[in-house]
C-alpha cells in the first residue's frame, strides 16, 4: 500500500514539475512576443521622431537661406556658405545640422533653369537615410514644399537645375511637375532602395 502511495506521489510530483516547466515555457514565449512588439513600436516611434526632425530642420533651413540672401541677388556658391551663415547667426545651428549624420546638411547654389543665372536656386542635401526613413521623408511635407526633390544613392551628385522631367522613383518633383506615382502609396516600396540614401531638396 505504501509503495502504491509513494508511486502516486512521485507521479504527481512529475506532473507538477511538467506543468511548471510548461508554464515557464509559455511565459517565456509570451514575453518574447511582447518584447518583439515593444521593439517594433520603439523602432517606429524613433523613425517618426527622426522624420519629424529632418522635416522641421530642412524647412527651417530653407526659409533661413532665402531670408539671408534676399537682398544679395542670388545664392552664394561658397563651399562654406552654410557654416558661415550659422556663424553669422543668419541660420540656427540646429536647423543646419542633419540629425542622421550629426554634421551640416549639404548645400549647393545652382541654376533654377538651364538659362538662368548661377545662384538663382539652391539644393539642400540630406544624407544618411535608411530606406524606410527616406520613403517617409520623400513622400511627406518636404515634397509639397520643394521646388525640386530627387532621391539617389549615397555619394551621388545633385542636379544642375530644376528643369528635369519627373521620373519616378528617382526624380519626384521638378519645375515641370510631380511624378504621378508619388500620389500612389502602393508605389512607395520602389522608393529609396539603396540602403544608404540621399534626398536632394531644391528651392529658390
Q: Express each pLDDT in 129-174 by its tens digit.
A: 999 999 999 999 999 999 999 999 999 999 999 999 999 999 999 9
Chain centroid to Cα 59, Å, comes to 14
**In this predicted model, what pLDDT tens digit does every residue of 51-84 receive, in sequence order?**
999 999 999 999 999 999 999 999 999 999 999 9
**Domain membership flag for residue 189:** yes
Q: What are phi and psi of 153, to 5 degrees?
A: -70, 155
Residue 93 included in any domain: yes
User: 86 lies in which domain range?
Assistant: 55-203
What sign does the CA torsion over 149, 151, 157, 160 have? negative
How many independent structural domains does the chain possess? 1
Asked if the structure places residue 91 within a domain, the reply is yes
pTM of the model: 0.80
Distance CA(196)–CA(194), nearest Å, equals 5
Burial of 16 per CB tally in 10 Å (0-12, 13-18, 19+): exposed
28 part of a folded domain:
no
Q: How many other CB atoms sit within 10 Å of the CB of residue 170?
A: 13
CATH of the domain at 191: 3.30.1690.10
Q: Is the residue at 21 inside a domain?
A: no
Kindly state the cell numbers that stand for 63.
526659409
Cβ proximity of 54 and 126 under 8 Å? yes
In a domain, 92, yes or no: yes
Amino acid at each position: 500500500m505504501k509503495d502504491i502511495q509513494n508511486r502516486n506521489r512521485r507521479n504527481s510530483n512529475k506532473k507538477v514539475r511538467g506543468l511548471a516547466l510548461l508554464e515557464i515555457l509559455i511565459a517565456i514565449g509570451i514575453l518574447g512576443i511582447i518584447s518583439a512588439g515593444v521593439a517594433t513600436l520603439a523602432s517606429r516611434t524613433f523613425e517618426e521622431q527622426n522624420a519629424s526632425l529632418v522635416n522641421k530642420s530642412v524647412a527651417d533651413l530653407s526659409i533661413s537661406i532665402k531670408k539671408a540672401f534676399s537682398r544679395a541677388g542670388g545664392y552664394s556658391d561658397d563651399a562654406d556658405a552654410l557654416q558661415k551663415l550659422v556663424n553669422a547667426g543668419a541660420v540656427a545651428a540646429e536647423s543646419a545640422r542633419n540629425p542622421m549624420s550629426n554634421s551640416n546638411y549639404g548645400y549647393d547654389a545652382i541654376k533654377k533653369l538651364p538659362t538662368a543665372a548661377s545662384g538663382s536656386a539652391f539644393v539642400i542635401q540630406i544624407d544618411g537615410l535608411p530606406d524606410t526613413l527616406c520613403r517617409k521623408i520623400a513622400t511627406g511635407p518636404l515634397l509639397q514644399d520643394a521646388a525640386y526633390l530627387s532621391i539617389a544613392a549615397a555619394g551621388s551628385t545633385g542636379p544642375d537645375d530644376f528643369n528635369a522631367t519627373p521620373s519616378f522613383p528617382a526624380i519626384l518633383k521638378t519645375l515641370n511637375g510631380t511624378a504621378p506615382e508619388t500620389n500612389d502609396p502602393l508605389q512607395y516600396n520602389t522608393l529609396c532602395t539603396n540602403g544608404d540614401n540621399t534626398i536632394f531638396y531644391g528651392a529658390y
